[in-house]
Amino acid sequence: MTHAILWVALAGCGDKAPTKTAAAAEAKPKPVSHVPDDANSKAFAEKLSAMDIQDFKPSASSEGGEIRYTHLKFRDEGVWAATGYVEAQDEKMDCSETGTWTMEPATSQSTATMTWKTSTTDCIGREAGNEQRVLVTLKDDNKIDADYR
């Protein structure tokens, strides 16, 4: 009899399927901590992360020449990645960069001040750890205007 009770008790301790409540909690999107919790900021971040930005000049120049991103993508997890090139004299040298981004509360659904930090780079004249504060305006043609602060 004690074996039967033990067997029934152990059978009830096995893996259980998640409850509907647990599954619903897991499916709910997690809040993004680098985006302020207001409507303009959420709309800005959503629009930014949906864009595939092309032909963007991230700063005036690098020490090795002029840098241009052929593709720049911001992800809603607070990271960005870019591929492009540095052009010096008659030569173009392909390179890539990755980093993180945060933003202050957006002034509209298309304008916000952001901070971009470079985590990795193989672009000549650029260094990981650089941080830029930028007023970003999203355009309708997959382009952004950037006013460096």
In a domain, 34, yes or no: no
Longest dimension (CA), the chain: 89
Q: Find where tokens 């004690």 sit.
A: 2
Q: Which two tokens stand for residue 44?
A: 């800005």
In a domain, 23, yes or no: no
- Number of domains comprising the chain: 1
In Å, what is the CA distance from 30 to each residue of 64, 117, 137? 41, 23, 26
In a domain, 14, yes or no: no
pLDDT computed for residue 65 by the predictor: 80
Q: What is the pTM of this model?
A: 0.74
- Give the distance from CA 107 to its chain's centroid: 20
Handedness of CA 65, 139, 81, 101 (dihedral sign): positive
Question: pLDDT tens digit string along 79-124?
Answer: 999 999 999 888 999 999 999 999 999 999 999 999 999 999 999 8
pLDDT computed for residue 33 by the predictor: 62
- Give the distance from CA 135 to its chain's centroid: 16
